[in-house]
Structure formats: C-alpha cells, structure tokens
Amino acid sequence: MINKKLVNTGATLALALAITVPALLPTAAASKDNSKIEFVKFNGMKAPSTIDEMVKTYTTATVDVKYSNGKVKTFPLSYNYLFKSEDKVATVKGEKIPAGTPIDVNGNPIVDPSSTDGKYFVSDAPDSNSLLMPIDGKLYMVTHYEYQTIDASGQSAYGLVPASMSLTEMEQDKKTGELKPANVKKIDFSAVNGLWIPCNGSLSPWNTHLGSEEYEPDARQFADPTSKTRSQVETFAQFYFGDKAKANPYFYGYTPEITVAKNGKASVVKHYSTGRFSHELAKVMPDNKTVIYGDDGGNTGMFMYVADKAKDLSAGTLYAAKFKQTGTENGGSGDLEWINLGHATDKEVKNIIDSGITFNDIFETSDVPKEGFTAIKQYSYGKTEYLKLKPGKEKAAAFLETRRYAAMLGATTEFNKMEGVALNEKDKKVYIAISDQSKSMEKDSTGKDPADHIQLPKIKAGVTYQLDLQGGQKDSGGKVIDSSYVAPSMHGLVVGEDLPKADAYGNTANVDKVANPDNLSYSEAMRTLFIGEDSGAHTNNFVWSYNVDTKELQRILSVPAGAEATGLFAADDRNGFSYIFSNFQHPGDEVDSKSITAVNKDELVKAVDEQIGINKTGGIGYISGIPSLTKYNNGKYQKDLEIDNKGK
C-alpha cells in the first residue's frame, strides 16, 4: 500500500531480534497421554500503552487448548524474527546483500544513485509470505518486497525502483518447530520484464506462490511524454533494463506465479490472461480453477477468473462484478452479477503486448460526452473519461485495460481500497477486506459520476466482507459459469468504528476493533480468520483473530508505531507444526503528524528511529506457540484436530 506521507529523519541503528520459544508446546502436552485437541481459543492482548511497547513487534496473547481428556491448558504466544529487510542475508553472485535489495535484469543488485558511498537500495516494505509445503523434504518461503519508500537522500522512491521477491530455505527444529533462515536468494524476474509493486500474495493449492502487481501504471497517461506516469515507468526501466526506451506500462499489472523445483530453484511466469488491474491478491478456490481477486485503490472493481484446466492459470475466462446494493446494516450488503469480459491465453495477451500496442490503439477518447462514447470512472485515471472501443480490440481491452473495459460493459468500479482475500473451504465462503469504506463507496452527492452502484455508509475504519459461494450461477448474458465457487452476494462481517476525534494515542478509530483491514488469512483447522491492519487510524497496527463460529475478535500482535502489518499467512501444518507469519513495513511512517498526548510524541519518534529506523527497514517473522494441528504416526501426518470452537 502506498504511503500518504514520507518521513525523512535520522540514522538507523540495529534492532535486537530476540527469539523466544514457549517452554512447553501444545503438541508436547498432548503427546503425553495421546489426547486429541478438541478446540483452540485465542485470548487477546491489550493495546500498547508505553513508548517501549509502541516501538516493538510483540505479543502477550495466549491460546487455550482443550484436549479430549477434558483438560484445558493455556500457552503463551511469542513473536520470532527471521530477519530484517536490511540484513545482509541474501546471496547474489557470491555476495551477501540486504534481503530487501532489488536486482536488475542481469541479476545485479541495484545501486541507489543518491547514496554517497554506493550503497544498494533496500526496501523497507516486506509484504507477502508463502511458506510452501515441503519440497523434497525442504521448507521454502517466498517473500515480497513491495516498494522503496525513500532513497538515501530522503526523497520519495515509491514506484520508481524495481521491486523484488526472495526465496528463503528454512531450517526447522524437529522438536520445537522453531524456524531459522538457512539461505536467502533473490528471485529472477528477467523473463517477465521485472516486477512492479508486489503487494499481497497467496499459496496455490498446487504449492506455488501467486504474487501480485498493484497500482498498474496508467497507459493513457503514459502516452503523454510529459506525464508523471511516463517519468515513473521510464525511471523504473532505466533501473531495471539500463534503458528507459524499454519502458512499457503493459508489462505490469498481472499475477506472477513462482514455482520452486526440487533443487530449490525458483522460476517465474506472469499470467497475462488473468487481467491487468491493481492486483492485491489472487486466491484460488478448491476446484483449482476459480480465482477471486482484490483490486486495490479508489474506484476499483471485483474480478474473477475461471481457468480452462485445473492447476493451470495460463488460459481462462475473466469476469467482473456488478454490485447491486441490498442493505446498509453492519457495513452493507449487495448482490453480485458477473459480466463475462472474455477468454484468452497468456500467450495471446503477451503477443498483443509484444506487438507494441498502445492505449490509443485500443480506444478513441473524448473530453466531453459524445454519442457512441461511454462515460466511466476508474482508479488508474482518477476522473471521468469518455471512451469508444476501436473495432477488433475487445481482447486487448479486456486483458490490458481490464478495469476500463469492465466499466464500459456495466461492471462496478466504485470499490475503495479492496485488499486481502481469504477462503473458508469447508463453509464455501470467501472473505474480502475493504480497508477504507468511503469516497467512491458512498452515495455520489454531486450527481456527476457516471455510475453510483454503491451507496454505503462511510466507515473510514473499513469492513471485512463475507461472500457465500455457489455453483450453477449464470453470468449477465445468461450463460452458466463453469465454476462451483461463484459469489452471488456479499455482506459485512467485521466492521470498524471511527471515532469522532482522535484519542490520546492518536487513534482515530476504536482501538479495540479492527481498523483498515488489509491482509487476511484463514485457518481451516482453527476455524479462525486472521486480519492484519494497514491503518493510519491506529497509531500501532495490529493482527487480529476472528473465530467464525463464536464471532470472538481478539488482538494477537502489535507492530511498531506507524508500521503496517503485512505478510499475514496462517500455516496449519508444516511437518506437524503451525505458524502465523506476519511482517511489518515502513516503521515510524506518519507518526510525527499524529495528535499524541498519552506519551511524548517526540520521544516516540526518536525511539522508533534509533531502535529500527524510520522508513529504512522492515521485519519478517512469525507468531509461534500455536498448537500443532497434526500428529506424526508411522511416517504419515494425520489430521488430529476436531475443533468445536463453541466449546460444546
């Protein structure tokens, strides 16, 4: 997610990264008498109240475990750091470099030209983590480095520097489950023209990592050689290719898929047939064909992809949703009508890109309403535009200008800050985070917008929505959609609460409720939805657990003031151990602009800068102490958890 304000201050000092592991793990307690776990309940922590707490990434939450012998035991959770993005743990061409350093098309670390001593860029924004299922007996984790907030001179570098991902091979303690990075490598994106702003991601059912490229560069603005978009994409190309003439906005805005081979080597493809928009995350349904997406930004859409073949996202049909509002209670609700945008293969779309196509090859434009032109409003352009599709350009429009084309066909492009997506497979439900329900999701009081499908209450703290999935659904043209996982409706589930004025800690939303939900991850075994915040409304962002049966919401992690909680990933079973991964990015951001009286704000900012470094680094780690959800038996892992979170 883009920062609204960039902070430039002070030097970075080392952050002590203490690793603690509970003395007695829930698995050990269960193994003494072969009892089975019947249910798991999280007990939350208080919000941080001191400067020391506000600077740390920590948890004081606990988990209650009830066993089949009737006993209930409580275990403390702890946060374990793996590394920071500034730590020199990644190996590139025999050199140890910071984990968050991007590499160019030739695999060389990219030097920050504003650095006086030739240092490399280091992203302060680690995001998505996928801990893959074991591959040839080894555990690997893919991590995103979303963007570079500032350069060495303190100037904004957002969206100018090529992004990156790392592949970490893990060492796992066989007794405690503790993870340590054995080696870290940078993933090569040269086959797909580099990586653009990778936000969240997911693990596919076939054990590959599905990444993202959000805030796709606007191709219409790029056509203007004096525009900021042209300058941005050319700067990116200069850093990555060493040649700004290779700049092309249509290279970016897709779903990258990373496959790790048995030898530990990662390979990358981009799925151009999944459409080009502000990909926040792609979540695959249990049929291994249907994919539901978040589209981040203002005036965005909701998209679905149905692949031709299971476990293969290289060809399929793309759909966009039209929202038909049905209510405003508990955040809001609406029916969803799915509009077929077209079918394509990755190869077909890539060939269109490689032909040198431009925005003006796809659309005619008008500055005023005109017969034959459709008025739309969507994120990348930001204002009403009047478009007419040129003959024979339907496929190019559908897959290179997906949001524009969807709006022209009547789909809704009024969502605001659509973020994470998570799947509850057993109940056939999907959860989607709307981080900030305002602006385009409110009623258009001016009457000037081209459409006003969404007229929901303003909730700056956001809403997490639930989508119920069904089969036998038809698209807007009456054709049956080839999927059993189509959402005909959505309704609010977890709703934030805005405050009339900031509290003493600078919070503008209720600190005991989720504010600005972003990352979502669901544990099937624990029947729990985990929610990570990207909140300017909370001075410290949190990770929450929400039990879908009991509806209990508990705070289970706090990250440093001004930082975003990212990389949320619940792993129910990795060699018999369970983890909740969560990172932090851009610590200290915007804290100096908050109204804070409960503690000395200047001392807080100073502490963040001295102990971590404001907008200089991010942390990658996980919550441990989660009960093991499997039992090892004769060399096979068997499900050993029959959860009744209602405790009945």
Give the pLDDT band of residue 317 (cuts 50, 70, 90): very high
Question: In angstroms, rounded to a whole number, what is the distance separating the alpha carbons of residues 582 and 559?
Answer: 9
For residue 597, the model assigns a pLDDT of: 97
Question: In angstroms, rounded to a whole number, what is the distance separating the alpha carbons of residues 10 and 55?
Answer: 16
Question: In angstroms, rounded to a whole number, what is the distance separating the alpha carbons of residues 484 and 438?
Answer: 32
For residue 30, the model assigns a pLDDT of: 47
Question: In angstroms, rounded to a whole number, what is the distance separating the alpha carbons of residues 60 and 45?
Answer: 6
For residue 66, the model assigns a pLDDT of: 85
Tell me what the mean pLDDT of segment 365-370 comes to.
97
Backbone angles phi, psi at 246, to 5 degrees: -85, 5
For residue 6, the model assigns a pLDDT of: 33
For residue 68, the model assigns a pLDDT of: 84
For residue 2, the model assigns a pLDDT of: 46
Question: In angstroms, rounded to a whole number, what is the distance separating the alpha carbons of residues 620 and 589?
Answer: 18
For residue 69, the model assigns a pLDDT of: 87
Tell me what the mean pLDDT of segment 367-391 comes to.
97
The SS3 assignment for 395 reads helix
Residue 26: partners with Cβ closer than 8 Å, 6 or more residues away: 37, 63, 65, 73, 75, 625, 626, 627, 628
Tell me which residue of 646, 644, 424, 626 sits closest to 522, measured CA to CA.
424
Q: Tell whether the model's pLDDT for residue 545 goes beyond 70.
A: yes
**Across all residues in the chain, what is the average pLDDT?**
92
Question: What is the reported pTM?
Answer: 0.93
Q: Tell whether the model's pLDDT for residue 632 goes beyond 60.
A: no
For residue 35, the model assigns a pLDDT of: 66
Q: Tell whether the model's pLDDT for residue 423 goes beyond 50.
A: yes
What does DSSP say about strands 486-495 and 333-345: parallel, antiparallel, or unpaired?
Answer: antiparallel
For residue 153, the model assigns a pLDDT of: 94
Tell me what the mean pLDDT of segment 23-46 comes to.
67
For residue 480, the model assigns a pLDDT of: 98
DSSP string, 12-61: -----------SS-HHHHHHTTTPPEEEEEEE--PPP-SHHHHHS-B---
Which ranges constitute the DSSP H helices of 200-247?
219-222, 228-241
For residue 34, the model assigns a pLDDT of: 57
Residue type at position 71: K
For residue 626, the model assigns a pLDDT of: 86
For residue 630, the model assigns a pLDDT of: 64
For residue 566, the model assigns a pLDDT of: 97
Question: In angstroms, rounded to a whole number, what is the distance separating the alpha carbons of residues 473 and 569?
Answer: 30
For residue 24, the model assigns a pLDDT of: 39
Tell me what the mean pLDDT of segment 563-574 comes to.
96
pLDDT in tens, 429-460: 999 999 999 999 999 999 999 999 999 999 99
Q: Tell whether the model's pLDDT for residue 15 goes beyond 50.
A: no
For residue 563, the model assigns a pLDDT of: 97
Residue type at position 420: G
Give the pLDDT band of residue 10 (cuts 50, 70, 90): very low
For residue 627, the model assigns a pLDDT of: 77
Q: Tell whether the model's pLDDT for residue 571 goes beyond 90.
A: yes
pLDDT in tens, 98-147: 999 999 999 999 999 999 999 999 999 999 999 999 999 999 999 999 99
Q: Tell whether the model's pLDDT for residue 206 goes beyond 70.
A: yes
pLDDT in tens, 226-275: 999 999 999 999 999 999 999 999 999 999 999 999 999 999 999 999 99
Tell me which residue of 490, 458, 617, 591 sits closest to 535, measured CA to CA.
591
For residue 151, the model assigns a pLDDT of: 94
Give the pLDDT band of residue 595 (cuts 50, 70, 90): very high
